[in-house]
Every structure is written in structure tokens, then in C-alpha cells.
């Protein structure tokens, strides 16, 4: 099947998701509407190698003047259109399907989020981060051009009623890829806190490789002796860490909590917030957490469509990982590098018997006394040394 045909196949499913996205509300007004007419703060963008500065005319050309039937989806930033770049657009361009994101001037996000995305994705390269191809900054127009992800968002595949259920092995592979993307951000020379980790921001390529997208709300992590970044609360209901919602204190462990929510969605096939269910089951975390650490009940929460696809031991390990990621105490949550280490053995197929020979690190709460204070933290089984996580390539 050609790239153009695949673009058309995805279009229909992406449009069906638009109505659902309208109900996926974010905290506050998301952004101060920075005046995009002032472009002095964009002067350093040109230092990023291989990020192309497109003209507005070029992007109008590849999207047929942003035609309605080229729409792939919508989000807080604006509308995303399909397109195709080649030498007809500009001499020397490699033929490539792309996604063009257009800032909605009246939307929740603005120039600041656009610039944040260019700055982070212009510097970082990793197999589990969506690749920024280029950008456009003309007058009050702000656009971003990405590699095209043929299978759309994880949200569509998990929750669209017409979609075939993702197999267990694919779900664990997606969880691992997304975890590696977060670990890359957290382990960067200047750590990056993603701040909006959710199923709609995890995109899938043709072989279901997961890549993180939409970096408009990302923040540089704390430096020196700082323990957190204080910021206005932004993010999506059902995914944001409780301590961040209550205090505005943001850390890498805030992302770990959000990862725990997504892992729970992968395990259960349920949305983080679902008002169509009974009141006791509106919140996925509130419904599932009491069962996650109970071996007698945890299999009750696994998506029934996955029956026969996983070993009981693998399910226990995945549920245990989700349990610690969702700890109310941020210090009890594992690092994303530890999450990667835990998920890697779960990629293996086989029976319980074959799984027994594979060591999967467990996370346990340990007490650590400091003066009159008691701190809790999650540490891996001491028999395991943390595995190295592929680092981001900073350009």
C-alpha cells in the first residue's frame, strides 16, 4: 500500500476521534496567549540542524490550502493536517508524508507552547520521540511539521469502538516504547518534564512503535539543589499527579504517575475518566488501585479481551509496576529508567513456566529515617542493577 493510500485510510478514523477529544478537557486555560507577532525569541531556532524553516506558502501547497478533507485531528494547539513533501515543494527535500500542526490563534495554546515544542524537539532525537521535520513562523502564523505516524494515537486504538483490541504483546511493547521516551527526557543533560503524558499524545508508527508527541506543556526540570519546579497547574484530568494538582510542584515523578495511569489503561482497556460507568468506576485509578496489589483480585481488572494472551506472572508484574507508579507519595514511585528495566522482560512471549526463568525487578516500599522525618522510596530488588537506558541524542 502506498504512503498516500495509508494517509487516506487514517483520515476517517482520526475524524471519528474529534468528538471524543472535545471531552478530554485540560486544566485551567492552559496558556497565556503570548503575542506571536514578536519573533525575537525565535532567533535561535536556526541553530538546530535538520529542522527546516518552511514558508507558509509551502505548507499551504502540501495541505491544499488546509483543506477540510486533509484534517487528521485536533488538539489544544490547533488542527493537524496531512501533507506530503518532496522536491516539488523545495529542491532537495526527501519525499516524505508529514503531519502539519497549525496553531489556532483563538485556542488554548499559543506562541509560547509553539516555541517550547520547537526548542525541545529541535534539540532531542530518540526513537521514541516524534521527529520534528520543520516549522513555520510568518507574521502571526505558527506551524509545526512532524514525521507522519501512520497508525495515529494510542487513544484511538484503545478506546475507539470500531478498533480491533490491541493484543497483550503489542500493549506491552507500546508501554516500553513510551517509557523509553520519558526516560530519555528525564535523563537528558538538562532534564525535561513532559507534563502531559496521556494516550492521545502517544503516537504509533506502522509497526506500532510508540513515540511521544505534543511537547507544548513540557518544562525544563529543576537544577542544582532545587527539588521541583513550581508552575501553574496544567495537564489533563485523570492523568495529572495528585501532588502536582494540589501544590503546583512539578517533578519527574509527576510524569511517572501519569505513566502509571496510561499503563493501567493498557492493562484494563478502560479510560482514565469514564462518566458512562457507575459512579464507583468513574475514576480508573480509584477503581483499580485497591486490586492492583491483591493477587487474588488483580486479574479481575485485566481487559477480558486479552484472555489467553498473557501469563499470570507477567500480569502480576505489570500490575505491580502500575501500583508503584501510582503511589500517592512521589518518592515511592520508581524512576523511568527502572520502569524500562521492569518492562523489558515482559516483551517475551511464553507460558508461566518459561517466564519463571526471566528475572523481573520488583519495587518495594522502604523506610528511610532522616532526623525526625520518615521518608518512603521505591527501590528495585537489590539483586538487579539498573539497566542503561538509551540516551537522547542532543544536537
pLDDT tens-digit readout, 249-306: 889 999 999 999 999 999 999 999 998 888 888 999 999 999 998 888 989 999 999 9
Highest mean pLDDT among 72-86, 137-151, 340-354: 137-151
Residue 32 pLDDT exceeds 70: no
Output the known binding site. Answer: 101
**Confidence (pLDDT) at 106:** 66
Confidence of residue 395 (pLDDT cuts 50, 70, 90): very low
Model confidence at 234, in pLDDT bands (50, 70, 90)? confident
Find which of 100-104, 149-153, 248-252 is predicted with most confidence, using mean pLDDT. 149-153
Question: What's the mean per-residue pLDDT of the chain?
Answer: 79
**pLDDT band, residue 34 (cuts 50/70/90):** very low
Per-residue pLDDT, 229: 65
Cβ atoms 126, 184 nearer than 8 A: yes
Annotated binding-site residues for ATP read 101
Q: Over the stretch 328-368, which tens digit does the pLDDT of each residue have?
A: 999 999 999 999 999 999 997 544 544 454 455 555 434 33
End-to-end distance of the chain based on CA atoms, in angstroms? 34
Mean pLDDT for 159-175 is: 92
**Residue that is written with C-alpha cell 494540589 in the block:** 246
Q: Which residue has the higher pLDDT, 178 or 118?
A: 178
Report the distance separating Cα 105 and Cα 102, nearest Å: 9
In this prediction, residues 208-215 reach a mean pLDDT of: 93
Q: Which of these, 219, 131, 231, 235, lies nearest to 181 by C-alpha position?
A: 131
The span from the CA of 332 to the CA of 376, in Å, is 6
Give the rounded distance of the alpha carbon of 287 from its chain centre. Answer: 23
Is the pLDDT at 325 greater than 70? The verdict is yes
CA–CA gap between residue 299 and residue 154 (Å, rounded):
23
Q: Active site residue: 44, 69, 196, 205, which one?
A: 196
The pLDDT value given to residue 243: 93
CA distance 110 to 36: 7
362 has catalytic annotation: no
Rounded distance, CA 234 to CA 28, Å? 7
Which percentage of the chain shows pLDDT scores above 90? Answer: 50
Q: What is the 3-state secondary structure (H, E, C) of the chain?
A: CCHHHHHHHHHHHHHHCHHHHHCCCECCCCCCCCCCCCCHHHCCHHHCCCCEECCHHHHHHHCCCCCHHHEEEECCCEEEEEEEECCCCCCCCCCEEEEEEEECCCCCCCHHHHHHHHHHHHHEECCCECCEEEEEEECCEEEEEEECCCCCEHHHHHHCCCCCCCCHHHHHHHHHHHHHHHHHHHCCCCCEECCCCCHHHEEECCCCCEEECCCCCCEECCCCCCCCEECCCCCECCCCCHHHHHHCEECHHHHHHHHHHHHHHHHHCCCCECCCCCHHHCEHHHHHHHHHCCCCCHHHCCCHHHCCCCCHHHHHHHHHHHHHHCCCCHHHCCCHHHHHHHHHHHHCCCCHHHHCCCCCCCEEEEEEEECCEEEEEEEECCCCCCCCCCCCEEC
CB 81 within 8 A of CB 104: no
Range of weakest confidence among 30-44, 224-238, 365-379: 365-379
Residue 352 confidence (pLDDT): 52
Average pLDDT over residues 109-114: 70
Question: How far apart (Å, rounded) are the C-alpha atoms in residues 177 and 205?
Answer: 11
The upper half-sphere exposure of residue 257, i.e. CA atoms within 13 Å in the direction of its Cβ, equals 27
For the chain, domains (ranges, CATH) are 3-147 (3.30.200.20), 154-394 (1.10.510.10)
pLDDT at residue 160 tops 70: yes
Residues contacting 348, CB < 8 A, separation 6+: 354, 355, 358
pTM of the model: 0.78
The predicted structure's pLDDT at residue 159: 93
* pLDDT at res. 294: 87
**Contact by Cβ (8 Å): 147, 131:** yes
Compute the average pLDDT of residues 96-108.
Answer: 82
329-330-333-338 Cα dihedral, nearest 10 degrees: -160
Amino acid at each position: 500500500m502506498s504512503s498516500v493510500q495509508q494517509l487516506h485510510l487514517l483520515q476517517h478514523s482520526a475524524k471519528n476521534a474529534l468528538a471524543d477529544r472535545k471531552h478530554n478537557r485540560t486544566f485551567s486555560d492552559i496558556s497565556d496567549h503570548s503575542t506571536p507577532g514578536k519573533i525575537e525569541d525565535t532567533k535561535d531556532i536556526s541553530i538546530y540542524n535538520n529542522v527546516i524553516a518552511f514558508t507558509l506558502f509551502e505548507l499551504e501547497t502540501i495541505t491544499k490550502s488546509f483543506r477540510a478533507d486533509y484534517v487528521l485531528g485536533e488538539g489544544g494547539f490547533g488542527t493537524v493536517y496531512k501533507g506530503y513533501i518532496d522536491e516539488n515543494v523545495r529542491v532537495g527535500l526527501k519525499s516524505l508524508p508529514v503531519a502539519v500542526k497549525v496553531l489556532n490563534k483563538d485556542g488554548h495554546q499559543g506562541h509560547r507552547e509553539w516555541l517550547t515544542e520547537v526548542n525541545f524537539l529541535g534539540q532531542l532525537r530518540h526513537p521514541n520521540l516524534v521527529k520534528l521535520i520543520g516549522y513555520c513562523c510568518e507574521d502571526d502564523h505558527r506551524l509545526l511539521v512532524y514525521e507522519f505516524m501512520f497508525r495515529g494515537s494510542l487513544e484511538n486504538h484503545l478506546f475507539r469502538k470500531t478498533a480491533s483490541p490491541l493484543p497483550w504483546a503489542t500493549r506491552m511493547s507500546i508501554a516500553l516504547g513510551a517509557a523509553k521516551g520519558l526516560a530519555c527526557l528525564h535523563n537528558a543533560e538538562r532534564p525535561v518534564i513532559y507534563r502531559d503524558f496521556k494516550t492521545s499524545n502517544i503516537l504509533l508508527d506502522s509497526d506500532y512503535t510508540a513515540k511521544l508527541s505534543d511537547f507544548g506543556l513540557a518544562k525544563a526540570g529543576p537544577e542544582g539543589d532545587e527539588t521541583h519546579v513550581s508552575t501553574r497547574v496544567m495537564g489533563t484530568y485523570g492523568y495529572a499527579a495528585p501532588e502536582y494538582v494540589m501544590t503546583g510542584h512539578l517533578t519527574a515523578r509527576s510524569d511517572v504517575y501519569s505513566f502509571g495511569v496510561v499503563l493501567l489503561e493498557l492493562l484494563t482497556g478502560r479510560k482514565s475518566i469514564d462518566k458512562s460507568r457507575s459512579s464507583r468506576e468513574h475514576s480508573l485509578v480509584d477503581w483499580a488501585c485497591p486490586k492492583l496489589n491483591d493477587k487474588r483480585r488483580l486479574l479481575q481488572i485485566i481487559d477480558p479481551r486479552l484472555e489467553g494472551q498473557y501469563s499470570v506472572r507477567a500480569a502480576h508484574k505489570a500490575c505491580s509496576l502500575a501500583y508503584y507508579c501510582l503511589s500517592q507519595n512521589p518518592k515511592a514511585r520508581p524512576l523511568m529508567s527502572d520502569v524500562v528495566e521492569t518492562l523489558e522482560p515482559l516483551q517475551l512471549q511464553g507460558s508461566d513456566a518459561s517466564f519463571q526463568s526471566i528475572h523481573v525487578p520488583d519495587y518495594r516500599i522502604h523506610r528511610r529515617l532522616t532526623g525526625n522525618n520518615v521518608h518512603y522510596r521505591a527501590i528495585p530488588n537489590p539483586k538487579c542493577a539498573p539497566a542503561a537506558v538509551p540516551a537522547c541524542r542532543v544536537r
